[in-house]
Amino acid sequence: MSRIHQGTALVTGASSGIGALYADRLARRGYDLILVARNRERLNALAGRVTRETQRVVEVIVADLNDRTGLREVEQTLRQDASITLLVNNAGVGTHTPLLESNVDDMERLIDLNVTALTRLTYAAVPGFVARARGAIINISSVVGIAPETLNGVYGASKAYVTALTQSLHHELADTGVRVQAVLPGATATDFWATGGLPVEHLPSEIVMRADDLVDAALVGFDRGELITIPPLHALDLWERYESARQAMRPQLSTNVPAARYGVTA
């Protein structure tokens, strides 16, 4: 099933859920893999199965991306291994709890993983990709980045960051040969929900997508060169109108006079 060799994909949060499915699908597409997460047993089991089924080379890095040492090790790999052509920034945690029921130390850890680690890994990967004029980054964001009222606000805000960073990278890296994509899943059937304190079985089944379907659709979006991929959104025109309103605002967002509605202009 493997096709032409595509280089190596480094996938964070590859021990379960969406990341494990990316690993499987990318190996079948001809990528060698570097799988990153904390759970050694699950990573090794996945690496063994994928190697058997695809004959691709699969390496495992057991690292806690909330820990500076673990994060630095993955950054070093991204800087030094010129075979890496794809970074999938997937590791992330979330919760549904409101501010008054949330512990700020947990929120800081969430930001460290969803924002800081993703940013550091991106900064480690991009210079080599640009120098080689080849590479791609897939950032797993979330629909709550554009609907932060839905779950925990820090989680929503962390994913708004991921989407905004991806949009900025797309702009900065135009004409470098480096591609970026932000994937915005809605509710997806993975351990994410139980880890965050709300098992997925508690959600109405009509709003929950199978993780296989999510990843397969997201990869179709990647193949089509999409910058923003929202597999659960059927009415694409809603996103297109939202995005074109944002683009229309851009040239008007910085002026030397407050808008007339504030009544302060001399």
Q: Which residues are catalytic?
A: 155
Residue 201: Cβ-neighbour burial (10 angstroms; 0-12, 13-18, 19+): exposed
Reduce the DSSP state of residue 135 to 3 states and report it.
strand
The rounded distance, in Å, linking the Cα atoms of 214 and 208 is 10
Q: Is 66 in the site for ligand NAP (CB under 6 A)?
A: yes
CB closer to ligand NAP, 129 vs 192: 192
Which residues does 165 contact at the CB level (< 8 Å), separation at least 6? 118, 119, 122, 139
The Cβ of residue 119 has, within 10 Å, a number of other Cβ atoms equal to: 14
The Cβ of residue 235 has, within 10 Å, a number of other Cβ atoms equal to: 8
Segment interacting with ligand NAP, rule: CB under 6 A, options 10-18, 95-103, 119-127, 253-261: 10-18
CB closer to ligand NAP, 19 vs 135: 19
Q: Is 22 in the site for ligand NAP (CB under 6 A)?
A: no
- Per-residue mark of binding to ligand NAP, 24-53 (x: CB under 6 A): -------------xxx--x-----------
Q: Is 15 in the site for ligand NAP (CB under 6 A)?
A: yes
Residue closest to 40 by CA, chosen among 61, 20, 56: 61
Considering the complex, what minimum distance in angstroms separates the CB of residue 248 from ligand NAP?
28
Q: Is 95 in the site for ligand NAP (CB under 6 A)?
A: no
Residue closest to 153 by CA, chosen among 209, 205, 161: 161
Q: Is 140 in the site for ligand NAP (CB under 6 A)?
A: yes
CB closer to ligand NAP, 130 vs 200: 200
Reduce the DSSP state of residue 251 to 3 states and report it.
helix
Considering the complex, what minimum distance in angstroms separates the CB of residue 131 from ligand NAP?
27
Q: Is 2 in the site for ligand NAP (CB under 6 A)?
A: no
List interacting residues with ligand NAP (CB under 6 A): 13-19, 37-39, 42, 64-66, 90-94, 113, 140, 142, 185, 187-188, 190-192, 195
